[in-house]
Chains A and B, each alone.
Chain A
Amino acid sequence: MSCKKWKKKLSSCLDNEVSYRERLKIEKHLKSCQACFNQFKQLDRLHRLVQSIPPEKPGPGFYERLSERLSQKKPILKKKLLGWRYVWQLSFPRVGKIAIAVSAVLLLSVSFYIWRSSISYEVNIKVFEEEYLRSQQMNSFAGELALPAFLEIK
Protein backbone atom coordinates (compact mmCIF):
# COMPACT_ATOMS: atom_id res chain seq x y z
CA MET A 1 0.00 0.00 0.00
CA SER A 2 1.30 3.47 -0.88
CA CYS A 3 1.89 6.22 1.74
CA LYS A 4 -1.03 8.21 0.30
CA LYS A 5 -3.45 5.46 1.31
CA TRP A 6 -1.89 5.04 4.78
CA LYS A 7 -2.15 8.82 5.36
CA LYS A 8 -5.86 8.71 4.66
CA LYS A 9 -6.32 6.19 7.43
CA LEU A 10 -4.36 8.12 10.09
CA SER A 11 -7.23 10.36 11.12
CA SER A 12 -9.60 7.39 11.43
CA CYS A 13 -6.98 5.64 13.57
CA LEU A 14 -6.86 8.60 15.97
CA ASP A 15 -10.67 8.59 16.21
CA ASN A 16 -10.65 4.84 16.98
CA GLU A 17 -12.61 4.13 13.83
CA VAL A 18 -10.40 1.29 12.54
CA SER A 19 -10.33 -2.37 13.50
CA TYR A 20 -7.71 -3.81 15.79
CA ARG A 21 -6.00 -5.58 12.90
CA GLU A 22 -5.89 -2.41 10.82
CA ARG A 23 -4.49 -0.44 13.73
CA LEU A 24 -1.61 -2.98 14.04
CA LYS A 25 -0.88 -2.62 10.34
CA ILE A 26 -0.84 1.20 10.57
CA GLU A 27 1.49 1.11 13.59
CA LYS A 28 3.82 -1.26 11.71
CA HIS A 29 3.91 1.15 8.75
CA LEU A 30 4.54 4.17 10.98
CA LYS A 31 7.59 2.42 12.39
CA SER A 32 9.05 1.98 8.93
CA CYS A 33 8.01 5.31 7.31
CA GLN A 34 9.31 8.61 8.72
CA ALA A 35 7.06 10.87 6.59
CA CYS A 36 3.88 9.12 7.70
CA PHE A 37 5.08 9.08 11.31
CA ASN A 38 5.63 12.88 11.21
CA GLN A 39 2.14 13.46 9.80
CA PHE A 40 0.67 11.15 12.44
CA LYS A 41 2.41 13.13 15.17
CA GLN A 42 1.06 16.39 13.81
CA LEU A 43 -2.45 15.02 13.60
CA ASP A 44 -2.16 13.61 17.12
CA ARG A 45 -1.12 17.00 18.48
CA LEU A 46 -4.04 18.70 16.71
CA HIS A 47 -6.42 16.08 18.01
CA ARG A 48 -5.28 16.57 21.60
CA LEU A 49 -5.49 20.33 21.23
CA VAL A 50 -9.07 20.17 19.98
CA GLN A 51 -10.04 17.85 22.80
CA SER A 52 -8.49 20.15 25.40
CA ILE A 53 -10.78 23.07 24.41
CA PRO A 54 -13.78 23.19 26.77
CA PRO A 55 -17.13 23.11 24.95
CA GLU A 56 -18.66 26.59 24.59
CA LYS A 57 -22.33 27.04 25.50
CA PRO A 58 -24.47 29.78 23.88
CA GLY A 59 -24.89 32.88 26.04
CA PRO A 60 -28.12 33.63 27.87
CA GLY A 61 -30.92 34.78 25.57
CA PHE A 62 -29.18 33.49 22.40
CA TYR A 63 -32.13 31.46 21.15
CA GLU A 64 -34.61 34.24 21.96
CA ARG A 65 -32.56 36.71 19.95
CA LEU A 66 -32.22 34.25 17.07
CA SER A 67 -35.98 33.62 16.83
CA GLU A 68 -36.61 37.39 17.02
CA ARG A 69 -34.27 38.02 14.10
CA LEU A 70 -35.87 35.26 12.05
CA SER A 71 -39.32 36.72 12.62
CA GLN A 72 -38.03 40.12 11.52
CA LYS A 73 -37.33 38.71 8.01
CA LYS A 74 -41.05 38.47 7.11
CA PRO A 75 -41.89 42.17 7.51
CA ILE A 76 -38.96 42.95 5.17
CA LEU A 77 -40.50 40.79 2.45
CA LYS A 78 -43.88 42.29 3.14
CA LYS A 79 -42.38 45.75 2.90
CA LYS A 80 -40.80 44.90 -0.45
CA LEU A 81 -44.09 43.62 -1.83
CA LEU A 82 -45.92 46.68 -0.53
CA GLY A 83 -43.31 48.82 -2.22
CA TRP A 84 -43.95 47.11 -5.58
CA ARG A 85 -47.68 47.57 -5.13
CA TYR A 86 -47.12 51.25 -4.35
CA VAL A 87 -44.99 51.68 -7.51
CA TRP A 88 -47.63 49.79 -9.59
CA GLN A 89 -50.42 52.00 -8.20
CA LEU A 90 -48.56 55.22 -8.84
CA SER A 91 -46.94 54.49 -12.17
CA PHE A 92 -49.90 53.44 -14.31
CA PRO A 93 -53.45 54.72 -14.69
CA ARG A 94 -56.27 52.17 -14.40
CA VAL A 95 -56.66 51.73 -18.17
CA GLY A 96 -52.94 51.14 -18.56
CA LYS A 97 -53.04 48.43 -15.95
CA ILE A 98 -55.90 46.64 -17.74
CA ALA A 99 -54.01 46.92 -21.03
CA ILE A 100 -50.89 45.39 -19.47
CA ALA A 101 -52.88 42.52 -17.96
CA VAL A 102 -54.71 41.77 -21.24
CA SER A 103 -51.51 41.85 -23.29
CA ALA A 104 -49.80 39.54 -20.79
CA VAL A 105 -52.66 37.02 -21.13
CA LEU A 106 -52.56 37.34 -24.93
CA LEU A 107 -48.81 36.88 -25.02
CA LEU A 108 -49.10 33.76 -22.87
CA SER A 109 -51.85 32.22 -25.02
CA VAL A 110 -50.04 33.01 -28.30
CA SER A 111 -46.82 31.47 -27.00
CA PHE A 112 -48.80 28.40 -25.83
CA TYR A 113 -50.40 28.10 -29.29
CA ILE A 114 -47.01 28.40 -31.04
CA TRP A 115 -45.53 25.83 -28.67
CA ARG A 116 -48.44 23.42 -29.35
CA SER A 117 -48.24 23.80 -33.14
CA SER A 118 -44.46 23.48 -33.17
CA ILE A 119 -44.67 20.00 -31.62
CA SER A 120 -44.54 17.80 -34.71
CA TYR A 121 -46.43 14.53 -34.58
CA GLU A 122 -45.44 11.57 -36.71
CA VAL A 123 -47.67 8.90 -38.21
CA ASN A 124 -46.29 5.82 -39.93
CA ILE A 125 -47.86 4.89 -43.25
CA LYS A 126 -47.87 1.26 -42.05
CA VAL A 127 -50.63 2.14 -39.58
CA PHE A 128 -52.87 3.11 -42.51
CA GLU A 129 -52.10 -0.21 -44.18
CA GLU A 130 -53.08 -2.05 -40.98
CA GLU A 131 -56.25 -0.02 -40.59
CA TYR A 132 -57.21 -0.76 -44.19
CA LEU A 133 -56.76 -4.51 -43.67
CA ARG A 134 -58.80 -4.28 -40.47
CA SER A 135 -61.69 -2.65 -42.37
CA GLN A 136 -61.39 -5.27 -45.09
CA GLN A 137 -61.64 -8.10 -42.58
CA MET A 138 -64.63 -6.52 -40.82
CA ASN A 139 -66.76 -8.03 -43.59
CA SER A 140 -65.37 -11.50 -43.03
CA PHE A 141 -65.92 -13.62 -39.93
CA ALA A 142 -63.03 -15.89 -40.86
CA GLY A 143 -60.41 -13.29 -41.71
CA GLU A 144 -60.88 -10.91 -38.81
CA LEU A 145 -59.67 -13.39 -36.19
CA ALA A 146 -56.41 -14.25 -37.97
CA LEU A 147 -55.60 -10.66 -38.88
CA PRO A 148 -53.49 -9.77 -35.80
CA ALA A 149 -51.12 -12.66 -36.54
CA PHE A 150 -50.94 -11.72 -40.22
CA LEU A 151 -50.03 -8.12 -39.37
CA GLU A 152 -47.42 -9.29 -36.89
CA ILE A 153 -45.72 -11.50 -39.52
CA LYS A 154 -45.91 -8.84 -42.23
Chain B
Amino acid sequence: MNSKKAPQKLLPCLLVLVILSGGIASPLLAIEPKEILKRSLEAQFQLDFEGIQKTEFRLPGRKYIITTRIIHQKPDFTYTATLAPSRVKGLVTLDDGKFHIWHIRGSNKFKFSLSLNSPEAREIKRKSLNLRLINYKISRLLDDYITGRPVYVISLFPKHPDNRRRKVWIDKKTYLPLKEEDYNWQGELISSSFFTEIHFDRRFSKERLYRDFPRRSRKKVFSQERFLNLKDLRRKIKFPVSSPHYLPPDYEFQEAVLLFKGRAVKLTYTNGLGVICLFQMPANIKLEGYFKGAHPLVWRKRGKTFNLKGDVPRKELIKIKQSVK
Protein backbone atom coordinates (compact mmCIF):
# COMPACT_ATOMS: atom_id res chain seq x y z
CA MET B 1 0.00 0.00 0.00
CA ASN B 2 2.82 2.34 1.03
CA SER B 3 4.95 1.47 -2.00
CA LYS B 4 2.06 2.50 -4.28
CA LYS B 5 1.55 5.85 -2.49
CA ALA B 6 5.24 6.85 -2.53
CA PRO B 7 5.46 7.77 -6.28
CA GLN B 8 2.16 9.65 -5.96
CA LYS B 9 3.67 11.84 -3.19
CA LEU B 10 6.92 12.26 -5.08
CA LEU B 11 5.27 13.62 -8.24
CA PRO B 12 3.95 16.93 -6.77
CA CYS B 13 7.30 17.44 -5.03
CA LEU B 14 9.13 17.03 -8.33
CA LEU B 15 6.75 19.45 -10.00
CA VAL B 16 7.36 22.11 -7.31
CA LEU B 17 11.12 21.55 -7.67
CA VAL B 18 10.97 22.05 -11.46
CA ILE B 19 8.93 25.25 -11.10
CA LEU B 20 11.25 26.61 -8.44
CA SER B 21 14.41 25.82 -10.41
CA GLY B 22 12.89 27.43 -13.51
CA GLY B 23 12.04 30.55 -11.53
CA ILE B 24 15.59 30.85 -10.24
CA ALA B 25 17.31 29.99 -13.52
CA SER B 26 15.25 32.18 -15.86
CA PRO B 27 16.52 35.54 -14.53
CA LEU B 28 20.06 34.16 -14.69
CA LEU B 29 19.58 33.02 -18.30
CA ALA B 30 17.70 36.18 -19.35
CA ILE B 31 19.71 38.67 -21.33
CA GLU B 32 20.47 42.01 -19.66
CA PRO B 33 18.68 45.08 -21.17
CA LYS B 34 22.03 46.86 -21.50
CA GLU B 35 23.41 43.90 -23.46
CA ILE B 36 20.34 43.99 -25.76
CA LEU B 37 21.00 47.68 -26.47
CA LYS B 38 24.69 47.01 -27.19
CA ARG B 39 23.81 44.24 -29.62
CA SER B 40 21.18 46.41 -31.35
CA LEU B 41 23.80 49.03 -32.20
CA GLU B 42 25.83 46.75 -34.46
CA ALA B 43 22.87 44.68 -35.69
CA GLN B 44 22.11 46.65 -38.85
CA PHE B 45 25.73 46.36 -40.07
CA GLN B 46 25.52 42.56 -39.94
CA LEU B 47 22.22 42.15 -41.76
CA ASP B 48 20.69 42.19 -45.23
CA PHE B 49 17.10 43.32 -45.10
CA GLU B 50 14.30 45.10 -46.88
CA GLY B 51 11.46 46.80 -45.05
CA ILE B 52 8.76 49.44 -45.00
CA GLN B 53 9.11 51.94 -42.19
CA LYS B 54 6.62 54.54 -40.96
CA THR B 55 8.09 57.55 -39.15
CA GLU B 56 6.19 60.27 -37.36
CA PHE B 57 7.78 63.63 -36.51
CA ARG B 58 5.81 65.86 -34.15
CA LEU B 59 6.33 69.60 -33.99
CA PRO B 60 4.17 72.04 -32.00
CA GLY B 61 0.77 71.99 -33.76
CA ARG B 62 1.99 69.85 -36.66
CA LYS B 63 2.58 66.19 -37.39
CA TYR B 64 4.44 64.63 -40.35
CA ILE B 65 4.11 60.94 -41.24
CA ILE B 66 6.62 59.52 -43.70
CA THR B 67 6.63 56.05 -45.23
CA THR B 68 9.99 54.81 -46.47
CA ARG B 69 11.17 51.65 -48.20
CA ILE B 70 14.55 50.66 -46.80
CA ILE B 71 17.08 48.30 -48.32
CA HIS B 72 20.17 47.54 -46.28
CA GLN B 73 23.07 45.41 -47.49
CA LYS B 74 25.76 44.49 -45.02
CA PRO B 75 28.06 45.99 -43.96
CA ASP B 76 27.46 49.64 -44.85
CA PHE B 77 25.12 50.08 -47.83
CA THR B 78 21.67 51.63 -47.29
CA TYR B 79 19.15 52.69 -49.93
CA THR B 80 15.84 54.36 -49.11
CA ALA B 81 12.92 55.43 -51.28
CA THR B 82 10.13 57.58 -49.89
CA LEU B 83 6.68 56.14 -50.62
CA ALA B 84 4.48 58.71 -48.87
CA PRO B 85 3.45 61.53 -48.63
CA SER B 86 3.10 62.08 -52.37
CA ARG B 87 4.99 65.41 -52.19
CA VAL B 88 8.26 63.59 -51.60
CA LYS B 89 7.48 60.36 -53.43
CA GLY B 90 10.47 60.58 -55.75
CA LEU B 91 13.00 61.11 -53.00
CA VAL B 92 15.72 58.46 -52.82
CA THR B 93 18.80 58.32 -50.62
CA LEU B 94 21.90 56.22 -50.78
CA ASP B 95 24.61 55.70 -48.20
CA ASP B 96 27.64 53.69 -49.24
CA GLY B 97 29.75 54.24 -46.13
CA LYS B 98 31.47 57.26 -47.70
CA PHE B 99 28.67 59.72 -48.50
CA HIS B 100 24.97 60.07 -47.86
CA ILE B 101 23.33 61.29 -51.09
CA TRP B 102 19.73 62.52 -51.49
CA HIS B 103 18.16 62.82 -54.87
CA ILE B 104 14.72 63.53 -56.29
CA ARG B 105 14.09 61.14 -59.19
CA GLY B 106 13.77 62.80 -62.58
CA SER B 107 15.49 65.99 -61.45
CA ASN B 108 19.03 67.25 -61.24
CA LYS B 109 18.59 68.04 -57.57
CA PHE B 110 20.86 66.18 -55.18
CA LYS B 111 22.36 66.92 -51.76
CA PHE B 112 25.26 65.46 -49.86
CA SER B 113 25.83 64.91 -46.17
CA LEU B 114 28.21 62.86 -44.07
CA SER B 115 27.72 59.11 -44.21
CA LEU B 116 25.72 57.49 -41.40
CA ASN B 117 27.47 54.15 -41.97
CA SER B 118 31.09 55.33 -42.09
CA PRO B 119 33.58 54.12 -39.44
CA GLU B 120 33.53 57.64 -37.87
CA ALA B 121 29.73 57.65 -37.66
CA ARG B 122 29.79 54.17 -36.12
CA GLU B 123 32.33 55.37 -33.57
CA ILE B 124 30.08 58.33 -32.67
CA LYS B 125 27.10 56.00 -32.31
CA ARG B 126 29.13 53.67 -30.10
CA LYS B 127 30.15 56.57 -27.85
CA SER B 128 26.53 57.77 -27.68
CA LEU B 129 25.44 54.31 -26.61
CA ASN B 130 28.07 54.26 -23.85
CA LEU B 131 26.73 57.61 -22.64
CA ARG B 132 23.19 56.21 -22.72
CA LEU B 133 24.30 53.30 -20.56
CA ILE B 134 25.75 55.74 -18.02
CA ASN B 135 23.11 58.50 -18.06
CA TYR B 136 19.91 56.44 -18.33
CA LYS B 137 18.09 53.91 -16.23
CA ILE B 138 17.66 51.04 -18.65
CA SER B 139 14.93 48.57 -17.92
CA ARG B 140 13.17 45.78 -19.75
CA LEU B 141 9.40 45.99 -20.10
CA LEU B 142 6.98 43.22 -21.10
CA ASP B 143 7.89 41.54 -24.38
CA ASP B 144 5.81 42.42 -27.43
CA TYR B 145 5.37 41.61 -31.14
CA ILE B 146 6.15 43.85 -34.13
CA THR B 147 5.15 42.62 -37.62
CA GLY B 148 4.60 39.22 -36.05
CA ARG B 149 8.16 39.03 -34.69
CA PRO B 150 8.85 38.73 -30.94
CA VAL B 151 10.65 41.79 -29.57
CA TYR B 152 12.30 43.01 -26.38
CA VAL B 153 10.89 46.31 -25.14
CA ILE B 154 13.55 48.49 -23.53
CA SER B 155 12.88 51.74 -21.71
CA LEU B 156 15.54 54.45 -21.34
CA PHE B 157 14.67 56.84 -18.54
CA PRO B 158 17.05 59.75 -17.81
CA LYS B 159 18.79 60.02 -14.46
CA HIS B 160 18.44 63.78 -14.86
CA PRO B 161 14.79 64.89 -15.34
CA ASP B 162 15.59 67.61 -17.93
CA ASN B 163 16.74 65.11 -20.55
CA ARG B 164 14.77 63.33 -23.25
CA ARG B 165 13.71 59.69 -22.96
CA ARG B 166 13.14 56.72 -25.29
CA LYS B 167 11.36 53.39 -25.67
CA VAL B 168 12.75 50.90 -28.15
CA TRP B 169 11.44 47.59 -29.49
CA ILE B 170 14.31 45.25 -30.48
CA ASP B 171 13.92 42.09 -32.54
CA LYS B 172 14.74 39.04 -30.41
CA LYS B 173 16.40 37.11 -33.21
CA THR B 174 18.42 39.77 -35.09
CA TYR B 175 18.60 42.58 -32.47
CA LEU B 176 17.49 45.12 -35.07
CA PRO B 177 15.41 47.97 -33.56
CA LEU B 178 11.96 47.57 -35.12
CA LYS B 179 10.26 50.42 -33.29
CA GLU B 180 11.37 53.54 -31.45
CA GLU B 181 9.52 56.26 -29.55
CA ASP B 182 11.26 59.45 -28.38
CA TYR B 183 9.85 61.75 -25.69
CA ASN B 184 11.07 65.22 -24.76
CA TRP B 185 11.99 66.27 -21.21
CA GLN B 186 8.33 67.15 -20.58
CA GLY B 187 7.29 63.60 -21.48
CA GLU B 188 5.62 64.52 -24.81
CA LEU B 189 6.05 62.17 -27.77
CA ILE B 190 8.24 63.95 -30.36
CA SER B 191 8.97 61.19 -32.83
CA SER B 192 8.15 57.55 -33.40
CA SER B 193 9.18 55.06 -36.01
CA PHE B 194 8.24 51.46 -36.72
CA PHE B 195 8.50 48.81 -39.41
CA THR B 196 5.21 47.74 -40.94
CA GLU B 197 6.95 45.06 -42.99
CA ILE B 198 10.42 43.53 -42.81
CA HIS B 199 12.19 40.71 -44.71
CA PHE B 200 15.66 39.52 -43.82
CA ASP B 201 18.40 37.97 -46.00
CA ARG B 202 17.35 39.75 -49.19
CA ARG B 203 20.18 40.63 -51.57
CA PHE B 204 19.95 43.38 -54.20
CA SER B 205 22.27 44.48 -56.98
CA LYS B 206 23.92 47.70 -55.75
CA GLU B 207 24.51 48.81 -59.35
CA ARG B 208 20.76 48.69 -59.98
CA LEU B 209 20.12 50.91 -56.98
CA TYR B 210 22.89 53.32 -58.04
CA ARG B 211 21.04 53.79 -61.34
CA ASP B 212 18.50 56.01 -59.56
CA PHE B 213 21.23 58.63 -59.09
CA PRO B 214 22.67 60.87 -61.82
CA ARG B 215 26.28 60.03 -62.71
CA ARG B 216 27.29 63.63 -61.97
CA SER B 217 26.31 63.24 -58.30
CA ARG B 218 28.70 60.35 -57.82
CA LYS B 219 31.71 62.42 -58.85
CA LYS B 220 30.95 65.44 -56.65
CA VAL B 221 33.65 66.52 -54.21
CA PHE B 222 32.26 66.70 -50.73
CA SER B 223 32.96 69.75 -48.56
CA GLN B 224 31.95 68.63 -45.05
CA GLU B 225 34.51 67.21 -42.64
CA ARG B 226 34.05 65.53 -39.27
CA PHE B 227 36.35 65.79 -36.23
CA LEU B 228 36.10 63.76 -33.06
CA ASN B 229 38.11 66.23 -30.96
CA LEU B 230 38.57 70.00 -30.84
CA LYS B 231 42.37 69.86 -31.20
CA ASP B 232 42.21 68.47 -34.74
CA LEU B 233 39.47 70.95 -35.62
CA ARG B 234 41.51 73.97 -34.41
CA ARG B 235 44.43 72.86 -36.59
CA LYS B 236 42.23 72.84 -39.66
CA ILE B 237 40.04 75.92 -39.15
CA LYS B 238 41.10 79.48 -40.02
CA PHE B 239 39.22 81.35 -37.24
CA PRO B 240 39.43 80.79 -33.44
CA VAL B 241 36.78 78.33 -32.30
CA SER B 242 34.79 79.12 -29.12
CA SER B 243 33.23 76.46 -26.93
CA PRO B 244 30.79 76.61 -23.99
CA HIS B 245 32.22 76.33 -20.48
CA TYR B 246 28.90 75.17 -19.11
CA LEU B 247 26.97 72.10 -20.26
CA PRO B 248 23.76 70.67 -18.76
CA PRO B 249 24.21 67.60 -16.52
CA ASP B 250 25.36 64.43 -18.36
CA TYR B 251 26.23 66.25 -21.63
CA GLU B 252 29.61 65.71 -23.35
CA PHE B 253 31.33 66.77 -26.57
CA GLN B 254 30.35 64.44 -29.43
CA GLU B 255 31.78 65.79 -32.70
CA ALA B 256 32.69 68.90 -34.70
CA VAL B 257 31.68 69.29 -38.34
CA LEU B 258 33.12 71.79 -40.80
CA LEU B 259 30.40 73.33 -42.94
CA PHE B 260 30.57 75.44 -46.13
CA LYS B 261 34.21 74.53 -46.88
CA GLY B 262 35.39 75.55 -43.41
CA ARG B 263 33.49 78.84 -43.26
CA ALA B 264 31.30 77.61 -40.39
CA VAL B 265 31.59 75.03 -37.61
CA LYS B 266 29.05 72.87 -35.82
CA LEU B 267 29.96 71.63 -32.33
CA THR B 268 27.71 68.85 -31.07
CA TYR B 269 27.21 67.82 -27.44
CA THR B 270 25.16 64.83 -26.31
CA ASN B 271 24.06 62.87 -23.28
CA GLY B 272 23.48 59.79 -25.42
CA LEU B 273 20.02 60.73 -26.69
CA GLY B 274 19.59 64.51 -26.52
CA VAL B 275 21.69 66.84 -28.65
CA ILE B 276 22.91 70.43 -28.28
CA CYS B 277 24.48 72.12 -31.32
CA LEU B 278 26.55 75.30 -31.28
CA PHE B 279 27.08 76.83 -34.73
CA GLN B 280 29.66 79.57 -35.25
CA MET B 281 31.18 81.48 -38.17
CA PRO B 282 33.04 84.76 -38.77
CA ALA B 283 30.72 87.78 -38.56
CA ASN B 284 31.52 88.90 -42.14
CA ILE B 285 29.50 85.93 -43.38
CA LYS B 286 25.90 87.06 -43.72
CA LEU B 287 23.22 85.01 -42.00
CA GLU B 288 20.22 84.85 -44.32
CA GLY B 289 16.65 84.25 -43.09
CA TYR B 290 17.46 85.62 -39.65
CA PHE B 291 15.36 88.36 -38.06
CA LYS B 292 16.61 90.17 -34.98
CA GLY B 293 14.47 89.29 -31.99
CA ALA B 294 12.89 86.27 -33.70
CA HIS B 295 15.89 84.07 -32.89
CA PRO B 296 17.12 84.93 -29.36
CA LEU B 297 19.67 82.15 -29.56
CA VAL B 298 21.48 83.80 -32.47
CA TRP B 299 24.03 86.36 -31.31
CA ARG B 300 27.26 88.14 -32.26
CA LYS B 301 30.35 88.25 -30.07
CA ARG B 302 34.03 88.97 -30.79
CA GLY B 303 33.63 89.09 -34.57
CA LYS B 304 31.69 85.84 -34.77
CA THR B 305 28.04 84.88 -35.24
CA PHE B 306 26.69 82.09 -33.02
CA ASN B 307 23.54 79.99 -33.11
CA LEU B 308 22.59 77.57 -30.34
CA LYS B 309 20.07 74.74 -30.66
CA GLY B 310 19.13 71.97 -28.27
CA ASP B 311 16.28 69.96 -26.79
CA VAL B 312 16.86 70.98 -23.17
CA PRO B 313 14.89 73.56 -21.15
CA ARG B 314 15.36 77.17 -22.24
CA LYS B 315 17.04 78.24 -19.00
CA GLU B 316 19.77 75.68 -19.71
CA LEU B 317 20.28 77.01 -23.25
CA ILE B 318 20.67 80.55 -21.88
CA LYS B 319 23.26 79.32 -19.36
CA ILE B 320 25.20 77.68 -22.19
CA LYS B 321 24.97 80.86 -24.30
CA GLN B 322 26.41 82.95 -21.45
CA SER B 323 29.29 80.51 -20.96
CA VAL B 324 30.54 80.54 -24.57
CA LYS B 325 34.10 81.91 -24.61
Chain A residues at the B interface, C-beta cutoff of 8 Å:
117, 120-129, 131-132, 134-136, 138-146, 148-150, 152-154
Contacts and interface: CB of A to CB of B under 8 A. Distances in A.
B68 A125 contact: no
Contacts of B85: 153
B177 interface: yes
A125 B288 contact: yes
B82 interface: yes
B263 A136 contact: no
B285 A143 contact: no
Contacts of B78: 145
Contact of B286 (A123, A131, A146, A149): A123
B243 interface: no
Contact of B288 (A124, A134, A145, A153): A124
Nearest to A120: B286
Interface stretch (B86-94, B137-145, B244-252): B86-94
Contacts of A117: 284
A90 to B, nearest CB: 46
B177 to A, nearest CB: 5
Given A132-B275, A142-B55, A149 B284 contact: no
A87 to B, nearest CB: 44
Contacts of B307: 125, 128
B140 to A, nearest CB: 19
Interface of B: 40, 44, 53, 55, 57, 64, 66, 68, 70, 78, 80, 82, 85, 87-88, 91, 93, 102, 104, 111, 113, 116, 121, 124-125, 128, 166, 177, 179-180, 182, 191, 193-194, 254-255, 257, 259-260, 263-264, 266, 268, 270, 272-273, 275, 277, 279, 281, 284-290, 295, 298, 307, 309, 311
Contact of A139 (B102, B272, B285, B289): B272
Contacts of A136: 275, 311
A131 B55 contact: no
A150 to B, nearest CB: 5
B287 A123 contact: yes
13 contacts: A123-B264, A125-B307, A132-B277, A135-B266, A138-B125, A140-B191, A141-B44, A142-B193, A143-B55, A143-B180, A145-B78, A146-B53, A148-B80
A110 to B, nearest CB: 17
A144 B118 CA distance: 14
Contact of A148 (B102, B125, B257): B102
A21 to B, nearest CB: 50
Given A121-B286, A125-B289, A131 B263 contact: no
A145 B82 CA distance: 10
Contacts of A143: 55, 57, 180, 182, 191, 193
B80 A145 contact: yes
Most chain B CB atoms below 10 A, which of A124, A126, A138, A142: A142
Contacts of B284: 117, 120-121
A139 B275 contact: yes
